[in-house]
């Protein structure tokens, strides 16, 4: 009877999730006593003995209550029995749940590449991309010299401040927006982006490109890295020079848009062009890094041409564009897509215009929509007198120890007719070179103005490299006839043709026009 009672008690406490024996009571997993009916008229001197161990072999065997050891065994014996681990052999059971089996889940979806989202376009026109769009002036981005990027991301985030803050020399990586990112290209910004309002133009040089090609409407991302020595910190927006914070405030402006330096605190820096960070000093703008490119012409190479005669009329060419009548104009089909210069007339805006040959007496301006209100344009002729303004450069105020150096690399057709390049500084011409020696077809010109400890005392120098070693210069540099303590404008001018018999066959192709400023 006693044995049966004990067995029933054991069965009861096991069914009630017994975990320990405390102060004469059986305790369940929730810490509550398990009620036991001990009424038994027969009586017995046997009691249950509880043992604990860490495994079913009895390792770590003890007879005192343990919350750490996970195995328990119960043996019915006399109260004074001296029990060993062998007495509990075969009686061990695990009083806690066994660890679950871990089954790995399915792999998650790969994340997208980091960077700013954009959409690649195969269009190569120098026009505003669609929202979020990015495109190049060559169907192969690896051969492109300009990039056009929307100021808005595909989701509508305005990137204007970011793009304005990117200095020349920065690295730009474009890749497809996929986990693999297998199509990518790396570029260097040749100078700071130009803000066209709603989109930017960036002169670029490709540094690397994958074998796989970008496809129209590819979702992409771009990432930006600064220059090695001077850059805008992408997190703080501060001007960093060799890793040292040099700015109180950094802003972006072209030289022509810089404020009056006398009103700007010393700790305000402006990012203006390639590697060019300037600050106000003594009422003048000084570069942080000693020497800076203040201008580099975009849209090169550029060929300028002058027809032999003036335009006599314009009309619609049948496609909504302008057709110019100019009898015996002298232009040829081989010169198509060259630029002629219109200085005014009617409502025309002065500037260079692309032309295509139609006949000996007509040519089209394919980028100009026809309107009778335009009137007849005044076109620069090949008469060795009319001037073609190729590029206009804004020049900042110079210090008494500043210098400005202009670099012009050009090709011209082989003849003895006038093919003159002029550098005009606020109306004074400190460089005036005529490449009219037969046999030469390329020049590299580097005229310079150097201030001699004064903004009114200066020296102009010429640096000319000519294929074949021949040169002809018809004007000496100016030496002291003009001051440049104030901001001014410098024009690069071409003059073509023959004074006695105007011609339309002369041309100059400009491959580089750059200006550098040094303190």
Residues 229-256: tens digit of each pLDDT: 455 555 655 555 555 555 555 555 555 5
Q: What is the pLDDT of residue 304?
A: 94
- Residue from 441, 324, 322 nearest 381 by CA: 324
Q: What is the pLDDT of residue 405?
A: 79
> Phi and psi of 262, rounded to 5°?
-70, -15
Strand pairing report for 199-209 and 194-195: antiparallel
Q: Which helix (H) or strand (E) holds 7?
A: helix 2-15
CATH of domain 388-497+505-518: 2.60.120
3-state secondary structure string across 141-193: HHHCCEEEEECECCCCCECHHHHHCCCCCCEEEEEECCCCCCCEEEEEECCCC
Strand pairing report for 362-369 and 356-359: antiparallel
Its pTM stands at 0.48
Task: Locate 489 and state its tokens.
Answer: 């404008």
Cα of first residue to Cα of last residue in the chain, in angstroms, is: 113
Q: What is the pLDDT of residue 435?
A: 78
> Phi and psi of 37, rounded to 5°?
-90, 105
Distance CA 447, CA 53 (A): 96
Q: What is the pLDDT of residue 388?
A: 96
- Contact status, residue 51 vs residue 85, Cβ threshold 8 Å: yes
Q: Which helix (H) or strand (E) holds 2?
A: helix 2-15
Q: Please enumerate in sequence order all residues whose Cβ is within 8 A of that of 276, keeping only pairs 6 or more positions apart, or say none.
A: 167, 168, 287, 289, 292, 293, 294, 517
- pLDDT < 70 stretches in the chain: 1-26, 28-29, 34-45, 96-101, 105, 107-114, 179-181, 226-259, 261, 263-294, 398-399, 401, 438-446, 450-485, 518-519
Q: What is the pLDDT of residue 313?
A: 95
Task: Locate 357 and state its tokens.
Answer: 């040959």
Residue ranges per domain, the chain? Answer: 2-94, 116-225, 230-289, 307-379, 388-497+505-518
Q: What is the pLDDT of residue 228?
A: 40
């Amino acid at each position: 009877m006693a044995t049966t009672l004990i067995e029933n008690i054991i069965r009861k406490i096991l069914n009630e999730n017994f975990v320990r024996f405390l102060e004469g009571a059986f305790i369940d997993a929730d810490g509550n006593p398990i009620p036991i009916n001990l009424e038994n008229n027969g009586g017995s001197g046997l009691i249950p003995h509880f043992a604990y161990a860490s495994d079913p072999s009895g390792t770590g065997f003890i007879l005192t209550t343990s919350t750490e050891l996970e195995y328990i065994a119960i043996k019915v014996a006399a109260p004074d029995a001296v029990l060993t681990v062998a007495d509990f052999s075969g009686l061990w059971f695990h009083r806690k749940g066994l660890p679950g089996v871990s089954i790995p889940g399915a792999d998650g979806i790969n994340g997208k590449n980091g960077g700013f989202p954009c959409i690649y376009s195969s269009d190569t026109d120098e026009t505003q991309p669609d929202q979020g769009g990015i495109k190049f002036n060559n169907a192969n981005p690896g051969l492109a010299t300009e990039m056009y990027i929307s100021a808005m991301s595909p989701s509508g985030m305005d990137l204007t401040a970011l793009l304005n803050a990117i200095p020349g020399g920065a690295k730009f990586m474009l890749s497809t927006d996929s986990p693999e990112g297998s199509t990518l290209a790396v570029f260097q910004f040749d100078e700071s982006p130009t803000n066209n309002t709603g989109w930017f133009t960036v002169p670029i040089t490709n540094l690397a490109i994958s074998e796989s090609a970008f496809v129209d409407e590819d979702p992409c991302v771009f990432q930006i890295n600064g220059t090695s020595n001077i850059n805008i910190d992408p997190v703080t927006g501060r001007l960093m020079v060799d890793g040292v914070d040099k700015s109180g405030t950094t802003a972006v402006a072209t030289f022509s848009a810089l404020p009056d330096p006398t009103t700007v605190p010393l700790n305000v820096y402006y990012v203006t062009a390639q590697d060019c960070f300037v600050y106000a000093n003594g009422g003048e703008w000084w570069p942080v890094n000693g020497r800076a490119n203040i201008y580099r012409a975009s849209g090169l190479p550029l060929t300028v041409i002058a027809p032999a005669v003036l335009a006599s009329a314009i009309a619609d060419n049948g496609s909504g564009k302008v057709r110019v009548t100019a009898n015996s104009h002298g232009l040829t089909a081989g010169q198509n897509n060259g630029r002629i210069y219109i200085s005014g007339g009617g409502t025309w805006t002065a500037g260079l215009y692309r032309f295509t040959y139609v006949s000996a007496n007509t040519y089209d301006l394919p980028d100009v929509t026809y309107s009778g209100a335009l009137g007849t344009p005044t076109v620069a002729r090949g008469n060795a007198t009319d001037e073609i303004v190729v590029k206009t450069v804004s020049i900042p105020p110079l210090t008494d120890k500043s210098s400005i150096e202009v670099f012009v690399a050009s090709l011209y057709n082989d003849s003895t007719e006038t093919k003159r390049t002029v550098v005009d500084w606020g109306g004074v011409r400190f460089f005036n070179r005529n490449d009219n020696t037969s046999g030469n077809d390329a020049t590299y010109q580097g005229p310079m103005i150097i201030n001699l400890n004064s903004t009114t005392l200066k020296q102009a120098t010429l640096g000319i490299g000519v294929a074949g070693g021949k040169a002809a210069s018809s004007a000496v540099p100016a030496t002291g006839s003009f001051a440049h303590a104030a901001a001014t404008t410098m024009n690069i001018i071409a003059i073509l043709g023959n004074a006695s018999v105007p011609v339309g066959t002369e041309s100059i192709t400009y491959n580089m026009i750059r200006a550098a400023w040094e303190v």
